[in-house]
């Protein structure tokens, strides 16, 4: 089901009314029922996958917590009898047992994801390798339908399990409540990947009606719909056309495709997240922000701190740090210090972990070489930029003009273009074609297309361009104004009437400028496919 489906919108309005009418203690149950209904609508079999994740996580986390409590009791009971070394050995042995349960849970769940999402990719590659040796690849290629949002709810749930293992917070003892955390419907389409300690309190609180919160939440939802239906869906036909025929659309067309896709992806993903956070706000459930004006970033490292924030922090906390501080990595560091010098030994773990994390980040986005190469290129740019930091610092110290607003603007544009070029891997069918199309931007100077009316033949009319340009300017202005805090909140604090007017204007904008019309069929969110 899409956020833009009339059934979803009708269901959401109904949910808002019922949610505030029923007693507080039943509200989280209503959310669970809504989440199950929402998920079941995408296919009953999908419930099996999410159900398996919820059930296994529930039992294993309870088990881990029970084992940790028993170990603590045993240490207390033998406090005076055991020596320090005995206590240490006992604690380590107990932790190892708990770790085994966690690994079992992770292997089961990520194994499920691996088979469903990467089974076909792995088999196709194995068949290719067999083909190199002159044999015909005959390994069976599985064909599973990817359950909706599996990459999001699975990461969120496994993060919770790891936190319980790390004793960051106690596990959830009520299965139905945990099931709501796993399946909270606004997050199922494309995240964000929330943390239990951030989300759970709001989920189960059943907060009542609050005029300010509801008003601001509704505005956030409408803002999200504006981005999705007025901008992302409007530019989609042009993007599809430009990438569908790489022979015809080269050079400046490839540049246009890259720019259009950058706008589409931004409007699509941030719009979807706005809708999710807005729904949460109406219901009194704070959902973690996933973006912080990413295209204002001065470099790629900063961009990744501000784009899809919850995925970045997930990888940092549950993959980057554990891999970096793991014993084999420390041994590698020690070995390289001795053999290759202090400097290399010092930085080697961080470089190896960065490459590993970006390889996995690429894979997370999809089972294709395009995404793997995209991830590795991100790693390469981040590492080069890291190595060059002393050079940049010297440059900024020497050249005062480089610490000015215009130069910041230049760096932001540079980062946006660089990320846009990297995102071309999303668009074209394979890696060589993507590189070829990137190359044509520099070798084929068909600049006349900007003046000879070719732009009007890209399934976009003059009116479409008008809406897209105005919409982009509105996004930019909103981002600039948002630097000093929430614009919606400031309007609300200034005048309730003005705030109501803003809601009406947003609603009318969505209704008038949405890309509707004959043959209109809103597209699924791009990140839902990852």
User: Which of the residues 78, 308, 365, 396 is marked catalytic?
Assistant: 365
Q: How far is the CB of 323 from another protein (least distance, A)?
A: 9
CA distances from 217 to 115, 214, 273, 287, 505 (A): 38, 5, 12, 11, 15
Q: How far is the CB of 353 from another protein (least distance, A)?
A: 7
The residue (of 216 and 348) whose beta carbon lies closer to another protein is 348
Q: How far is the CB of 358 from another protein (least distance, A)?
A: 13
What Rg value do the Cα atoms of the chain yield, rounded?
26
The residue (of 157 and 333) whose beta carbon lies closer to another protein is 333
The residue (of 149 and 349) whose beta carbon lies closer to another protein is 349
Q: How far apart are CA 478 and CA 271, in angstroms?
A: 13
Angle at 61 between CA 60 and CA 62, to 5 degrees: 90
The residue (of 66 and 346) whose beta carbon lies closer to another protein is 346
Q: How far is the CB of 325 from another protein (least distance, A)?
A: 5
Tokens of 287: 């959902």
First to last CA, the chain: 16
| Contact positions vs another protein (CB under 8 A) | 88, 166-168, 301, 316-317, 320-322, 324-325, 327, 330, 333-334, 337, 345-347, 349-350, 353-354, 386
Contact 181, 172 (CB under 8 A): yes
The residue (of 103 and 498) whose beta carbon lies closer to another protein is 103
Q: How far apart are CA 258 and CA 434, in angstroms?
A: 11
Q: How far apart are CA 419 and CA 306, in angstroms?
A: 13
Q: What share of the chain is helix, strand, coil (3-state, %, to 5)?
A: 80, 0, 20
Q: How far apart are CA 474 and CA 292, in angstroms?
A: 16
**Annotation says 365 is catalytic:** yes
Q: Is the dihedral of CA 470, 475, 479, 481 positive or negative?
A: positive
Q: How far is the CB of 98 from another protein (least distance, A)?
A: 12
Tokens of 301: 């490292």
> Which residue is listed with tokens 């030994």?
345
Q: How far is the CB of 416 from another protein (least distance, A)?
A: 22
**DSSP assigned state of 232:** I
The residue (of 142 and 322) whose beta carbon lies closer to another protein is 322
Catalytic residue IDs:
365
């Amino acid at each position: 089901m899409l956020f833009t489906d009339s059934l979803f919108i009708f269901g959401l309005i109904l949910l808002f009314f019922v949610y505030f009418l029923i007693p507080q203690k039943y509200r989280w149950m209503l959310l669970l029922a809504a989440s199950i209904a929402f998920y079941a609508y995408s296919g009953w079999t999908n419930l099996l996958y999410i159900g398996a994740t919820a059930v296994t996580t529930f039992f294993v986390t309870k088990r881990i917590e029970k084992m940790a409590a028993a170990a603590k009791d045993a240490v207390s009971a033998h406090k005076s009898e055991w020596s320090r070394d005995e206590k240490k050995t006992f604690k380590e042995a107990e932790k190892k047992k708990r770790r085994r349960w966690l690994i079992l849970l992770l292997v089961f769940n990520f194994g499920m994801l691996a088979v469903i999402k990467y089974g076909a990719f792995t088999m196709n590659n194995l068949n290719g390798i067999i083909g190199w040796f002159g044999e015909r690849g005959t390994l069976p290629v599985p064909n599973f339908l990817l359950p909706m949002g599996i990459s999001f709810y699975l990461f969120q749930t496994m993060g919770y399990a790891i936190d319980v293992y790390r004793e960051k917070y106690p596990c959830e003892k009520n299965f139905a409540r945990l099931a709501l955390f796993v399946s909270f419907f606004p997050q199922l389409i494309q995240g964000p990947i929330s943390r239990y300690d951030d989300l759970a309190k709001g989920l189960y609180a059943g907060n009542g009606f609050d005029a300010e919160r509801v008003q601001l939440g509704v505005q956030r939802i409408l803002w999200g719909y504006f981005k999705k239906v007025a901008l992302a869906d409007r530019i989609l036909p042009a993007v599809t056309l430009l990438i569908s025929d790489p022979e015809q659309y080269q050079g400046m067309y490839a540049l246009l495709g890259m720019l259009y896709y950058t706008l589409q992806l931004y409007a699509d993903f941030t719009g979807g997240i706005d809708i999710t956070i807005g729904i949460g706000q109406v219901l009194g459930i704070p959902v973690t922000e996933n973006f912080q004006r990413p295209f204002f970033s001065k470099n790629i490292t900063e961009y990744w701190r501000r784009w899809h924030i919850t995925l970045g922090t997930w990888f940092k906390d549950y993959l980057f740090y554990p891999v970096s501080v793991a014993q084999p990595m420390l041994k590698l560091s020690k070995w390289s210090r001795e053999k290759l010098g202090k400097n290399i030994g010092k930085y080697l773990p961080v470089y190896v972990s960065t490459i590993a994390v970006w390889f996995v980040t690429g894979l997370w986005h999809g089972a294709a070489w395009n995404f793997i190469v995209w991830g590795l290129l991100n790693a390469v740019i981040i590492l080069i930029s890291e190595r060059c930091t002393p050079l940049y610092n010297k440059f900024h110290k020497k050249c005062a003009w480089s610490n000015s607003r215009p130069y910041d603007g230049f760096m932001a544009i540079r980062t946006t273009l660089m990320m846009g070029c990297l995102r071309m891997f999303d668009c074209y069918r394979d890696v060589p074609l993507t590189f070829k199309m990137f190359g044509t931007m520099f070798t084929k100077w068909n600049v006349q297309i900007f003046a000879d009316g070719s732009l009007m033949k890209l399934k976009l009319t003059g009116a479409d361009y008008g809406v897209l340009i105005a919409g982009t300017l509105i996004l930019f202005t909103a981002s600039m104004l948002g630097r000093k805090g929430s614009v919606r909140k400031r309007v609300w604090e200034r005048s309730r009437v003005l705030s109501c007017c803003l809601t009406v204007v947003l609603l009318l904008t969505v209704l008038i400028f949405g890309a509707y019309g004959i043959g209109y069929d809103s597209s699924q969110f791009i990140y839902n496919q990852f």
